[in-house]
Amino acid sequence: GPLAPLDHHTLEKYESIWLGVAVTMVALLFVGVLASMITGTMPLIASSGGQTGHSMGISKAGRVDPTKLAATPFANPGLVQNEDGSLDAWILAGNFTFQPGVLRVPAGKPVRIHVTASDVVHGFQVTGTNLNTEILPGHVASMTVTFRHPGEQHVICNEYCGTGHHNMITRFIVEP
Ligand code: CUA
């Protein structure tokens, strides 16, 4: 009858409304999952992205010349306490090792961790947490981490980087 095309049109309208609702719900679910990943699943540490600042030999965007690491804080990997009391941890990945092999950090205090690679792409994963980043030569990955509880946190390379890949490990000793 004459109403049939109108009904069909109305149906399409409802369909597009429901499609919009469905898309919105999926988007909300996604945001919720992201939020719970950030807030709910990190019992051991709290972390956030961090600026590298104006450190020697490192651009504000975190660029570094991997052949000139001797002119950067990566020449002396380890924990540095700044004049204002803040902490920077400089970690160098390369030759199937992380330097330093052990890093002592205080519990409950933010530490800005900076990691770069001297040779090829490596990974940097703090086991038991969702702190996990790719380490590229020529770029400094920076993140601010607060280790909540005293103990040990192991760090592994989770990017295949060659024959010594599985030996790449370091650890944080979190002190009370
Ligand atoms: Cu470095 Cu795998």
Q: Is 18 in the pocket of ligand 1 (CB under 6 A)?
A: no
State the residue for tokens 């941890």: 89
Assess whether the C-beta atom of 169 lies below 6 angstroms from ligand 1. Answer: no
pTM comes to 0.73
Q: What is the pLDDT of residues 77-94, one digit of tens each?
A: 999 999 999 999 999 999
Q: What is the pLDDT of residue 123?
A: 98
User: Can you tell me the distance from the alpha carbon of 139 to that of 65, in angstroms, rounded to the nearest whole number?
Assistant: 8
The pLDDT tens digits of the residues spanning 66-79 come to 999 999 999 999 99
Q: What order of strands is seen across the sheet that includes strand 169-175? A: 102-106, 169-175, 151-156, 122-126, 132-135
Q: Residue 140 CB: number of other CB atoms within 10 A? A: 23
Which residue puts its alpha carbon closest to atom 1 of ligand 1?
Answer: 122
What ipTM describes this predicted complex?
Answer: 0.99
- Here the tokens at position 4 are 């049939």
* Topology annotation, domain 45-175: Immunoglobulin-like (2.60.40)
